A and B are shown apart, each in its own frame.
Chain A
Amino acid sequence: MTTKLFGEPVRRREDARLITGRGRYLDDIGAGALAAAFVRSPHAHARITDVDVEGALDVEGLVAIYTYEDLTGPMAEPLPVLIPHPQLHAPRTGHPLADGVVNHVGEPVVMVVATDRYVAEDAAERIVVSYEELPVVVGIDTARAAESCVHPDVPDNVAARHHQETGDVEPALAASPHTLTFTQTIERSACTPLEGKGVHARWDPDDGSLRVYSSTQASTSVRAAIAAKLELSLDRVEVIAPDVGGGFGVKIVHPWPEELLVPMAAMRLGREVKWAEDRREHFVSSAHERGQRQQVTVGFDDDGRLTALDVHVWHDNGAYTPYGIIVPIITATQLVGPYVIPVYRVVVESLYTNTVIVTPYRGAGRPQGCFAMERTMDRIADSLGLDRAEVRRRNLITPDQFPYDHHLTFQDGRPVVYDSGDYPGLLEKLTALVGWESVEERRAEATGRGKLLGAGMALYVEGTGPGPYEGGHVQVLGSGKVLVSTGLTSQGQGHETVFAQIVASELGVPMEDVEVHTGDTRRFGYAVGTFASRAAVMSGNAVALAARGVREKALRIAAEVLEADPSDLEIDEGLVQVKGTPGASIPLRTVAVLSNPLRYAFDEAAKQATQFATHDDTKPPVAPGDAPGLEHRDYYSPLRSTFASGAHAAVVEIDPQTWEIDVVQYAVVHDCGNVVNPMIVEGQVHGGVAQGVGGALYERMAYDADGQLQNASFMDFLVPYASEVPDVVIDHQQTPSPLNPLGIKGAGEAGVIPGSAALASAIEDAVGRRVAAMPISPSELYDLVRDDTAERTAASARRTGATA
Chain B
Amino acid sequence: MKPPPFRYADPDSVDEALDVLAAEGDGAKVLAGGQSLLPLLAMRLAAPATLVDVNRVPGLDRVEASAGGVRVGALVRHAGLLRDAGAAGVQPLLARATANVAHPAIRNRGTTVGSIAHADPSGELTAVLALTGGSVTVARPSGRAEVGWQDLFVGPLETSLSGPAVVVDAFFPALPERSGTAFAEIARRKGDYAVCGAAVVVTLDEDRRVAGVRASYLSVGLVPEVHDLTEAVAGKPVDSADWAAAGALARTLVDPDTDLHATADYRRLLVGVLTERTLAEAAAEAAGRTAA
Is chain B a partner of chain A in the same complex? yes
A118 contacts the other chain (Cβ, under 8 Å)? yes
Contact indicator B43/A723 (Cβ below 8 Å)? no
A698 contacts the other chain (Cβ, under 8 Å)? yes
Contact indicator A782/B265 (Cβ below 8 Å)? yes
Q: How far is the CA of A508 from the CA of B270 in the complex (A)?
A: 63
Set of chain B residues within 8 Å of A715, measured between Cβ atoms: 193
The number of chain A residues with a CB under 8 A from chain B is 29
B5 contacts the other chain (Cβ, under 8 Å)? yes
The number of chain B residues with a CB under 8 A from chain A is 24
A380 CB → nearest B CB, Å: 33
Contact indicator A779/B191 (Cβ below 8 Å)? no
B234 contacts the other chain (Cβ, under 8 Å)? no
Select from chain A the residue with minimum beta-carbon distance to B103. Answer: A721
Set of chain B residues within 8 Å of A779, measured between Cβ atoms: 195, 261-263, 266
Q: Which of B51-59, B61-69, B182-190 is the contact stretch? A: B182-190
A698 CB → nearest B CB, Å: 7
Select from chain A the residue with minimum beta-carbon distance to B277. Answer: A657
Set of chain A residues within 8 Å of B190, measured between Cβ atoms: 721, 723-724
Chain B, residues 235-276, CB within 8 Å of chain A (1/0): the string is 000000000000000000000000011110110011001000
Set of chain A residues within 8 Å of B270, measured between Cβ atoms: 658
Contact indicator A660/B186 (Cβ below 8 Å)? yes
Chain B, residues 5-43, CB within 8 Å of chain A (1/0): the string is 100000000000000000000000000000000000001
Interface residues of B in 67-118 (CB under 8 A from A): none
B291 contacts the other chain (Cβ, under 8 Å)? no
Which of A710, A711, A783 is within 8 Å of B263, CB to CB?
Answer: A783
Contact indicator A121/B2 (Cβ below 8 Å)? yes
A778 contacts the other chain (Cβ, under 8 Å)? yes
Contact indicator B4/A698 (Cβ below 8 Å)? no
B34 CB → nearest A CB, Å: 16
Interface residues of A in 442-475 (CB under 8 A from B): none
Contact indicator B266/A782 (Cβ below 8 Å)? yes
Set of chain A residues within 8 Å of B188, measured between Cβ atoms: 698, 718, 777
B99 CB → nearest A CB, Å: 14
Q: How far is the CA of A659 from the CA of B33 in the complex (A)?
A: 35
Contact indicator A724/B189 (Cβ below 8 Å)? yes
Interface residues of B in 187-222 (CB under 8 A from A): 188-193, 195
Set of chain A residues within 8 Å of B2, measured between Cβ atoms: 117-118, 121
Which of B4, B186, B260, B263 is within 8 Å of A658, CB to CB?
Answer: B186
Contact indicator B43/A280 (Cβ below 8 Å)? yes
Q: How far is the CA of A721 from the CA of B187 in the complex (A)?
A: 12
Contact indicator A718/B265 (Cβ below 8 Å)? no
B292 contacts the other chain (Cβ, under 8 Å)? no
A720 contacts the other chain (Cβ, under 8 Å)? yes
B44 contacts the other chain (Cβ, under 8 Å)? yes
Select from chain B the residue with minimum beta-carbon distance to A720. Answer: B189
Select from chain B the residue with minimum beta-carbon distance to A782. Answer: B266
Contact indicator A698/B186 (Cβ below 8 Å)? no
B5 CB → nearest A CB, Å: 7
Set of chain B residues within 8 Å of A721, measured between Cβ atoms: 189-191
Q: How far is the CA of A702 from the CA of B270 in the complex (A)?
A: 23
Set of chain B residues within 8 Å of A657, measured between Cβ atoms: 273
A133 contacts the other chain (Cβ, under 8 Å)? no
B3 contacts the other chain (Cβ, under 8 Å)? yes
B45 CB → nearest A CB, Å: 11
Q: How far is the CA of A122 from the CA of B273 in the complex (A)?
A: 48
Set of chain A residues within 8 Å of B191, measured between Cβ atoms: 721, 723
Q: A280-B1, A280-B43, A658-B269 are in contact. Are A716 and B189 (CB under 8 A)?
A: no
A770 contacts the other chain (Cβ, under 8 Å)? no
A278 contacts the other chain (Cβ, under 8 Å)? yes
A8 contacts the other chain (Cβ, under 8 Å)? no
Q: How far is the CA of A783 from the CA of B190 in the complex (A)?
A: 23
Set of chain A residues within 8 Å of B1, measured between Cβ atoms: 121, 278-280
Which of B260, B265, B266, B269 is within 8 Å of A710, CB to CB?
Answer: B260
A175 CB → nearest B CB, Å: 45
Select from chain A the residue with minimum beta-carbon distance to B47. Answer: A125
Select from chain B the residue with minimum beta-carbon distance to A783. Answer: B263
Q: How far is the CA of A718 from the CA of B188 in the complex (A)?
A: 8
Set of chain A residues within 8 Å of B5, measured between Cβ atoms: 118, 122
Set of chain B residues within 8 Å of A711, measured between Cβ atoms: 260
Q: How far is the CA of A718 from the CA of B189 in the complex (A)?
A: 8
Set of chain B residues within 8 Å of A698, measured between Cβ atoms: 188-189
Q: How far is the CA of A710 from the CA of B259 in the complex (A)?
A: 10
Q: How far is the CA of A658 from the CA of B195 in the complex (A)?
A: 11
Q: How far is the CA of A76 from the CA of B261 in the complex (A)?
A: 42
Interface residues of A in 687-738 (CB under 8 A from B): 698, 702, 710-711, 713, 715-716, 718, 720-721, 723-724
A4 CB → nearest B CB, Å: 43
Select from chain A the residue with minimum beta-carbon distance to B193. Answer: A715
Chain A, residues 478-504, CB within 8 Å of chain B (1/0): the string is 000000000000000000000000000
Set of chain B residues within 8 Å of A716, measured between Cβ atoms: 260-261
Contact indicator B273/A658 (Cβ below 8 Å)? yes
Q: How far is the CA of A702 from the CA of B190 in the complex (A)?
A: 21
Q: How far is the CA of A125 from the CA of B47 in the complex (A)?
A: 12
Interface residues of B in 144-161 (CB under 8 A from A): none
B19 CB → nearest A CB, Å: 28
Select from chain B the residue with minimum beta-carbon distance to A697. Answer: B188
Q: How far is the CA of A711 from the CA of B269 in the complex (A)?
A: 24
Q: How far is the CA of A354 from the CA of B265 in the complex (A)?
A: 31
Contact indicator B3/A782 (Cβ below 8 Å)? no
Set of chain B residues within 8 Å of A660, measured between Cβ atoms: 186
Q: How far is the CA of A683 from the CA of B266 in the complex (A)?
A: 36
Q: A122-B5, A125-B44 are in contact. Are A723 and B189 (CB under 8 A)?
A: yes
Q: How far is the CA of A716 from the CA of B260 in the complex (A)?
A: 8
Q: How far is the CA of A711 from the CA of B192 in the complex (A)?
A: 14
Contact indicator A782/B4 (Cβ below 8 Å)? no
Interface residues of A in 417-437 (CB under 8 A from B): none
Select from chain B the residue with minimum beta-carbon distance to A116. Answer: B2
A188 CB → nearest B CB, Å: 14
Q: A280-B43, A721-B191, A723-B190 are in contact. Are A125 and B4 (CB under 8 A)?
A: yes
Set of chain B residues within 8 Å of A280, measured between Cβ atoms: 1, 43
Q: How far is the CA of A723 from the CA of B266 in the complex (A)?
A: 23
Q: How far is the CA of A746 from the CA of B260 in the complex (A)?
A: 37
Set of chain A residues within 8 Å of B43, measured between Cβ atoms: 280, 713
Select from chain A the residue with minimum beta-carbon distance to B3. Answer: A118
Q: How far is the CA of A125 from the CA of B191 in the complex (A)?
A: 33
Set of chain A residues within 8 Å of B262, measured between Cβ atoms: 777-779
Set of chain A residues within 8 Å of B195, measured between Cβ atoms: 778-779
Select from chain B the residue with minimum beta-carbon distance to A37. Answer: B2
Chain B, residues 118-135, CB within 8 Å of chain A (1/0): the string is 000000000000000000
Q: How far is the CA of A122 from the CA of B47 in the complex (A)?
A: 12
A707 CB → nearest B CB, Å: 16
B239 CB → nearest A CB, Å: 21
Q: How far is the CA of A278 from the CA of B261 in the complex (A)?
A: 24
Contact indicator A778/B189 (Cβ below 8 Å)? no
Q: How far is the CA of A118 from the CA of B188 in the complex (A)?
A: 34
Select from chain A the residue with minimum beta-carbon distance to B5. Answer: A122
Select from chain A the residue with minimum beta-carbon distance to B186. Answer: A658
Write 21 A-B pairs (CB below 8 A) sorted by A numbering.
A118-B2, A118-B5, A121-B4, A121-B44, A278-B1, A658-B270, A660-B186, A698-B188, A702-B260, A710-B260, A711-B260, A718-B261, A724-B190, A777-B261, A778-B262, A779-B195, A779-B262, A779-B266, A782-B263, A782-B269, A783-B263
17 new A-B contacts, CB < 8 A, other than A718-B188, A777-B188, A777-B261, are: A118-B5, A121-B2, A125-B4, A658-B269, A658-B270, A658-B273, A659-B266, A716-B261, A718-B189, A720-B189, A721-B191, A724-B189, A779-B262, A782-B269, A783-B263, A783-B265, A783-B266
> Contact residues of B with A, CB < 8 Å?
1-5, 43-44, 186, 188-193, 195, 260-263, 265-266, 269-270, 273
> Contact residues of A with B, CB < 8 Å?
117-118, 121-122, 125, 278-280, 657-660, 698, 702, 710-711, 713, 715-716, 718, 720-721, 723-724, 777-779, 782-783
- Chain A to chain B: the 9 pairs with minimum beta-carbon distance, closest first: A723-B190, A779-B266, A779-B262, A278-B1, A118-B2, A657-B273, A121-B2, A782-B266, A702-B260
